[in-house]
Chain A
Amino acid sequence: MAVEARSEITPRELFEQLVIREEATPILDVRNEDEFAAWRIEGKRPLTYLNLSYFRFIDDPEGNAERVARAGDTWIAVCAKGDSSAFVAEILRERGMRAVNLVGGMEAWGNLHVPVRVGPADSRFELWQVNRYGKGCLSYVVRAGGETIVIDASRHLDVYEALLGELGAGLVQVLDTHVHADHLSGGAELARRAGARYYVAAGEGFELHKAVDPLPEGSKLTLGGKAGLTIEVHPIATPGHTPGSTCYLIDNRWLLSGDTIFVNGIGRPDLGGHVEAWGRALFGTLHRGLLNSLPDDILVLPAHFSSPEELDRDGVVQRRLGDIRAASPELALPTEAAFVEAMRRAVKPPPEVYQQIIAANLSPARVPDEKASEWELGKNQCAASAPRAA
C-alpha cells in the first residue's frame, strides 16, 4: 500500500484515524514525563507510546533518533503546543522514519469538538452530542422545528454557532446542567450573542455573580415553536455533584444527566470540599428523587466520559438508564451511610485549577484565551469511579 508522505496531521484527522477508523498508530510524546503521565492521546484501541522529551533531541539528536528507530518507524509526534514535536518529527524524517506532527499539540487535541448525531434521522427533530474528545467533555444541541437549545456549551462558541448555522434554526435557550469545575462554560456568552436566555442553578454554597436563572423542577421548556412538532424539556433537580446540579429530560426519551450519572458510574460529590453533605444529597438524588422514578429505557447522555471504551459503535456516549442502574456498584450501596463512606474513601484532591475555573464560571468576567487554555489542559476528573488506569 502506498503511504502518502506527510509531515503533519490535524487533531480532527487524528481523531478520524484513531477513533473512527480505530487504527493504532504509535504515539511519540515529546513532553516532559509529568505532563505525559497526567494526560495523553487515547484511541479506540490501546496505543503504543514512547515518551522521550524534546530536550533530549536538543542534547543528542542522533542517539535519541536511534532509540526511536529501535522502537518503530511510524509515529505521531505530540507535544504541548505542536512546535517541539514538529522539531523532533523533522529529525526523525531526516533519518528515514515516518513521523507526522500533531498540529497544535495536546492543547489543540483538548480543544477538538466533534458533533455526532444521536438517534434516528428525523427532519423535524434532531439531537447532537458534541464530543470534546481529548478532555472527555460532552455538550448537546437539540433542535425541534425552527428552534434549538444548547446544553453545557464549552467556551468554543464557534463550534456551536457553526452547527446552529447548518441546522438553520434559531437558538432560544442555553442551559448548563451545573457549575462546571473542569472547563469554562460558554453558556452565558453564547446566549448573550444570540439574544437567548441562559439557565444554570448554582445552589447553596455558590455565589453566582452572573444574572442567570435556575430552571426549577416542575417547570418545563417547550421547543419547536409553530413548526408543527414540539418537544418538552423537563428539569430534574439532582443535587450531589453540586448543590444545583440539574438533569434535563428531553422529549421523555433522553436524559441529559450532566455530571450526576455517567455511563460507567456517577459524578464525584467531593469537588466542593463537602463530601459528607453533598454525598448525602447525591444518595437522595439517586434513590429518592424524581430521577429514581424514571423508567429503565430512558437513554442517558452524560456531560463526561473517562475512557474511549464508553463511545458506542456510532461514536455516541450513551447508555440505557436500566443498564447503568444494573452495572454501577455505587448505585447498589444500600444505605446513605455506606454510600457516603464510599464517597469519602474515594476522595482524591482535584486539580488545583478547578477552584479557579469554578470561580470564573460564577463570574461575568471573561477569562483571556491564553489563561483559559492553560486552565483547561488535561482530561476531566469529574467521575467518582475512575476507570482502570490507561
Chain B
Amino acid sequence: MEKILDARGLKCPMPIAKAKKELESIGANDVLKVLATDKGSILDMQGWAKANKHINLIKQATETDENGREIYVHYLSRVS
C-alpha cells in the first residue's frame, strides 16, 4: 500500500516531522510518498535516512505539479 503525505508549501522541519509521525502508523510493507516543495528536502531526507536506522529512503524524484511548481517526491518505508 502507498500512502501520500502532502507536505507541499510546508517549511522545514515540518515535512520530516510529519513523515516521522506517518511512518509510525503505516504497515511494515507500506510505502510513504512525501510531496515537498522545499528543495532542501532532497538532501535532508537523505541525511535523515542515513542517521535513522529505522527509515529507508527507497527513491527520490522531481516532478512538476498542475501549477507548474517543482515538487520533490520522496518514497520512504519503515525498517523494523
Give A contacts to B, CB under 8 Å: 31-35, 53-59, 79-81, 83-84, 87, 374
Contacts and interface: CB of A to CB of B under 8 A. Distances in A.
B61 interface: no
Judged by DSSP, the binding face of A is helix
Given A31-B40, A83-B12, 7 more contacts: A32-B46, A55-B47, A55-B51, A58-B16, A58-B20, A80-B40, A84-B12
Nearest to A86: B13
Given A32-B46, A35-B43, A58 B51 contact: no
A359 B39 CA distance: 22
Contact of A81 (B11, B16, B17, B51): B11
A374 B37 CA distance: 13
B12 A59 contact: no
Nearest to B55: A59
A54 B43 contact: no
Judged by DSSP, the binding face of B is helix
Contact of A87 (B13, B40, B47, B51): B13
B12 A79 contact: yes
Contacts of A34: 43, 47
Contact of A59 (B20, B39, B40, B44): B20
A206 to B, nearest CB: 28
Interface string B33-77: 000000110011011100110000000000000000000000000
A55 B40 contact: no
Given A59-B51, A87-B13, A374 B39 contact: yes
A33 B43 CA distance: 9
Given A58-B17, A59-B51, A32 B43 contact: yes
A34 B43 CA distance: 8
Q: Which 6 A-B pairs have the closest CB atoms?
A: A32-B47, A55-B48, A84-B12, A84-B13, A83-B11, A32-B43
A59 to B, nearest CB: 5
20 contacts: A31-B40, A34-B47, A35-B43, A53-B44, A53-B51, A54-B12, A54-B16, A55-B44, A55-B47, A55-B51, A56-B51, A58-B13, A58-B17, A58-B20, A59-B52, A80-B40, A81-B11, A81-B40, A83-B13, A84-B13
B34 to A, nearest CB: 13
A81 B20 contact: no
B39 A55 contact: no
B41 to A, nearest CB: 10
A35 B44 CA distance: 10
A55 B43 contact: no
A33 B12 CA distance: 16
Contacts of A80: 12, 40
Contacts of B17: 58
Contacts of B52: 55, 59
Nearest to B39: A374
A57 B13 CA distance: 10
A56 B51 CA distance: 7
Contacts of A57: 13
A166 to B, nearest CB: 34
B69 to A, nearest CB: 10
Contacts of B16: 54-55, 58
Nearest to B12: A84
B54 to A, nearest CB: 9
A56 B47 CA distance: 9
A298 B44 CA distance: 48
Nearest to B17: A58
Contacts of B48: 53, 55, 59
A33 B44 CA distance: 9
Given A55-B51, A55-B52, A59-B51, A32 B13 contact: no
